[in-house]
Amino acid sequence: MQEFARYTAWSGSYSYSYILQWELVNQNISSNYSKVRIRALIEVAGANYISWSRGSAVLDGTSFGLSSTYYKGATEVYSKERIIYHDTQGNGSAYISGSISTSFLMNGSCGGTISLPKIPRSAKITKYQVSEIKGTSAKVEWETDKAVNAWQYSIDGAEWTNADGTVTSDNKSGKYMITNLKPNTKYSVKIRVRASDSGQWTESSALSITTMGALFYYGTKRATAYYGKSGKWNLAIPYIGKNGEWRMGE
C-alpha cells in the first residue's frame, strides 16, 4: 500500500503517528470507476508502546474505536473500500482524510489526494462523411483520435452492420462502401466505432443522404429513372427505343 497522509505526535525523541494508506483493487472500464482500499495505522517509533484510557479515530468519514495500547511498529486499526468515479477523460482522484482523538498525546488530523491510473475511454470520431453517392451505394469515410478495432453503420435506425473496406495501419481512419441501397431514396446514416483499449463504442450523429436515380441506356441514348413509391420505375426523361429495350447502366 502507498502512504498518502500522516499525523505525528512527539514525546521527546519518540514519535507516534496516525498513517493513511491506499491501494487499487480494480477498475471498471464500462462504468468508469476505480475501487480502492484505504486503511489507517498507528505507528510507534522509539518507544515500546503507547496507551490511553480513551481513543477513537475517523477514516474517510467512518468513525471507529481504538484499543487502549499499541506497541512498537505499525498496526492496522481500520480499513475500508471505496468507489471513485473518473471524469469523462478517464482521469480519477480523490481527497481522503482521517483524524485521531485520544486521552493521551495523539489528537490531530491528516489527509491527502490519491491519483488513480487513467481509465481508457471511448474514441472520438473526428471526421465522418458520406460521398460518392450513387443509385445503390455510397462511400463512408471516418477518422478517430485513437485506435479502434471495429466499425459499423446503421441505416434508418436499423441494426448495426459490420463494415469492411480499408483501414490505416494505426487504425485511426478508414473507408468503406454501403451497398444494396434503392435509387432516388432518402436515408439516415449513422456510424459507430469501438475503441481498441476500452472496448467502448462511440456513435456518430446521423447524416441524411439521397441516392441518385438509376441511368438506363438504349444505344447512345439515356434517361434517368426513379424508383417511385408504388414500387415502379418512372422515367424522368422518357426515351423508348423503336427496335430494342432499355438496359440499366451504372
Domain boundary among 57, 89, 116: 116
3-state DSSP helix/strand/coil % of the chain, to nearest 5: 0, 65, 35
Contacts of 232 (CB under 8 A, 6+ apart): none
The whole-angstrom distance between residue 1's C-alpha and the CA centroid of its chain comes to 27
Domain hosting 161: range is 125-210
Question: Same domain, yes or no, for 149 and 94?
Answer: no
Average pLDDT, the chain: 90
Check: CB of residue 9 under 8 Å from CB of residue 15: yes
Three cell numbers at 24? 487499487
At 30, the pLDDT band (50, 70, 90 cuts) reads: confident
Q: Which three cell numbers stand for residue 49?
A: 508502546
221: its cell numbers: 441514348
**112 and 144 share one domain:** no
Cβ distance 104 to 50 under 8 Å? Answer: yes
pLDDT-based confidence at 154, cuts 50/70/90?
very high
Q: Are residues 33 and 7 in the same domain?
A: yes
Q: What is the pLDDT of residue 239?
A: 45
What's the pLDDT tens digit per position in 40-74?
A: 999 999 999 999 999 999 999 999 999 999 999 99
Note the pTM of the prediction, 2 decimals. 0.70
Domain identity same for 184 and 98? no
Are 159 and 218 in a shared domain?
Answer: no
Same domain, 196 and 220: no
CA dihedral 187, 210, 139, 188 (to 10 degrees): -20
95/164 same-domain check:
no
Q: How many domains does the chain have?
A: 3
